Amino acid sequence: MNKNSKGKVLVAMSGGIDSSVTAMLLHEEGYEVIGVTMKTWDYATSGGNNRKTTGCCSLDDINDARILAVNYGFHHMIIDIREEFGDFIINNFVDEYTAGRTPNPCVLCNTHIKWDALLRRADQLGCEFIATGHYANVRYENSRYVISKGKDENKDQSYVLWGLSQEALARTKFPLGKYTKPEIRKMALDRGHKELAKKSESYEICFVPDNDYRGFLKRKVEGLEERVKGGDFIDMQGNVLGKHEGYPFYTIGQRKGLGIAMGEPMYVIRINPEDNTVVLGKKEDLKRQQMKVRKPNLIKYNEIPTDIDVLTKVRYKDKGTMSHLSINEAGEIEVDFMAEVKGIAPGQSAVFYEGSDLIGGGFISR
């Protein structure tokens, strides 16, 4: 290691603007940077201008990451994690939908795949740290590594990081947490990277680039459509309203695409895989003031604080609702909201905040 270096850091580089600027900033700060791009999925491609790419590590993105590393004079490598990604993330994605839940693959990928892969490779390369382009902050306080929201409220990504361990956070850097997205774009422009600054962002699931998760499930699970098609839509009292296309193809809170006319807007209230029924109701039927959360992971505290009120988010773009937390005998977190919350979907992440600090999170069970 260069004696003038601040240490070796392995930077996850997707080829996008956020991870690229992350690598630039750490390089400029004096760290010995090694860039790594993780190949998670086989992306469909075709010739000419019709080549299909996605917003996460397509062939073009991998090449962009490599070129940037060459230009800045640091090493770059590609690691193939398709097998472990597919076995865990995609199988879980399918299993959750077929269990009548709505999965959160990005949270699982961060926790069980990307961070593990980065830390293993960091150890092999003698890197003290790893870094990503997430808009979040991490600090050490009261013998805990604490994640807090990024400066840019519109880009804050602390929600998807609740599953990280203390051991992982001890070695993690988030250089972008103290900046806004416009500031990051300006940094890229100021350094002469006009094309990088113009890159659009992807909000799709990387292995479902067309955003058609129903089509993905049908292709992935042989005979699924035939097995589940023709179940009943029912109302809150159990009365049959009509037939549906199969319970895995609906999500809590869904209104459009139900294929049933009731004379007034109807929403998916509950999904029952055991008898292939989908419960429909009115908008107010989506409201709840309690939920349970399984497999919790705590960030700021060693145990759930029962003497404070926290802000609970039930989806990424949720503004959050003040609530009180407790632990039941099954080890689940019981959440009592101080106001009614709409569209609580089993399988999604519930994430708890104290001010800007991330207390922890878990998966909504019911």
Q: Is the pLDDT of residue 2 over 60?
A: no
Q: Residue 110 and residue 116: Cα distance in Å, rounded?
A: 8
* Cβ atoms within 10 Å of 264's Cβ, excluding its own: 7
Catalytic residue set: 109, 206
**What is the 3-class SS of 209-231, one letter each residue?**
CCCCHHHHHHHHCCCHHHHHCCC
- pLDDT number for residue 57: 58
pLDDT digits (tens, 9 = 90+) for 212-238: 899 999 999 999 999 999 999 999 999
* Cβ atoms within 10 Å of 320's Cβ, excluding its own: 16
Domains of the chain, start order: 8-197 (3.40.50.620), 229-281 (2.30.30), 287-364 (2.40.30.10)
User: Long-range pairs for 81-84 at CB < 8 Å and ≥24 separation?
Assistant: 81/38, 81/39, 81/40, 81/113, 81/117, 82/39, 82/40, 82/41, 82/42, 84/113, 84/117
pLDDT digits (tens, 9 = 90+) for 253-306: 999 989 888 888 999 999 999 999 999 999 999 999 999 999 999 999 999 887
362 φ, ψ (degrees, to nearest 5): -175, -175
Q: Is the pLDDT of residue 44 over 60?
A: no
Q: Is the pLDDT of residue 47 over 80?
A: no
Q: How many residues does the chain have?
A: 366
